[in-house]
Amino acid sequence: ASDGSELRTLTQGEWMIDGVIEVDEDSGWIYVNSTRGSALERRVERVSIHDGEIETLSEPGGLHGASLSRDGKWLAMMSSSLTAAPTITLVATDGSERRILYESDISLDSIEVTAPELRTFSAGDGTTLYGALYRPESEGPHPLLLAVYGGPHAQTVLDAWGLTVDLRAQYLAQEGYLVLKLDNRGMAGRGLAFEAHLHRQMGTIEVDDQSAAVQQLADEGLIDIERVGVYGWSYGGYMTVMSMLRRPDLFKVGVSGAPVSDWDGYDTGYTERYMGTPQNNAEGYREGSLLTHADKLEGQLLLIHGGVDENVHFRHTARLITALTAADRDYDLLMFPEERHMPRDQAGLEYQERRVARYFDRHLK
């Protein structure tokens, strides 16, 4: 209602409305993205304002998004999947017509990659977790590289072309590593209860879930548990280091890009949404800080950071270096003085990728 009071609930169930595309009051429909088919997919659907009836407008499977025309008669829909590059289709909202506007000529064969394998893992409490495996062609058990993000408000494992064309993961798999991406508890796409596991305790449950998945791969004989590495950027950079500090027995080599070293120095609009303030959650901030646990580092760690990073300021890596030095712990540093959150020029990106690959080859193979 206009005064903010609730009139009625239109949708319910074990799935999410992931975003509202448009509200068409004239026709009585709300156009949305939903996970009604699977948390690994995004449907384009419309919900009746009058009775909550739901109509699916996208094809089965994959990742779909759309924009609605001003007259409410057409959707411009972008779609992709693990095996199909993005297409743009003009879809009549009454279901009468579909017309392809753009179709890529890129295919798995043309870029010589294989789509990652989607599978499930189990968290310590029995929660189902979704992961993606990039498999090498060689016989196992393989060295494992965990490509981690781990933070809230993001989902990395989806039936989407973007997962397939992660060229770093694809290259490392071609070099003989098994590469795993896992969406741990606390990440997006699975509802509030799933994401709320991180509340006031960043750097804990994420590491537990990632570690559990690694152990499951070892139990299945797919990996060599003595050769496990981890890499990530931003929250994934934070997770890389925290994984090495909390589970030094498991994670032997890490490449950490632009890590948040202490949540008291990051964007408060982001941090306090999940952690509260340092005043009302002192223990959570202390336990979630890399600085607190710096003396536990045992493995080989490469830190990468841009000198003018406007998101995670270089001060975070500087503070971590200070803590590691005080603890007499060895580390390696790759700094890009004139770059932001990651290198953006071609030469810088290529140099970074060579350094990442060589670091794992040197310390993990």
The yes-or-no answer on residue 313 being catalytic is no
Structural contact between residues 131 and 121, judged by C-beta atoms closer than 8 angstroms: yes
Catalytic residue among 34, 81, 309, 316: 309
Catalytic residue among 27, 69, 199, 341: 341
Provide CB contacts within 8 A for 64, sequence distance 6+.
Answer: 33, 41, 42, 43, 44, 58, 77, 78, 79
- Alpha-carbon distance of 299 to 204, in angstroms, equals 19
In the sheet that holds 17-24, the strands lie side by side as: 17-24, 29-34, 43-48, 54-56
The yes-or-no answer on residue 293 being catalytic is no
- Alpha-carbon distance of 282 to 121, in angstroms, equals 32
- Mapping DSSP onto H, E and C, the string for 2-22 reads CCCCCCCCCCCCCCCEEEEEE
Question: 205-219 and 235-246 are packed helices; what angle lies between their axes, rounded to 10 degrees?
Answer: 70
What are the backbone dihedrals phi and psi of residue 79, each rounded to the nearest 5 degrees, phi first?
Answer: -135, 150
Structural contact between residues 29 and 18, judged by C-beta atoms closer than 8 angstroms: no
Distances (CA, A) of 168 to 48, 165, 244, 349: 43, 9, 21, 11
Catalytic residue among 234, 243, 256, 289: 234
The yes-or-no answer on residue 138 being catalytic is no
Query: Tokens for 311?
Result: 């998101």
Task: Return the active site residues.
Answer: 234, 309, 341
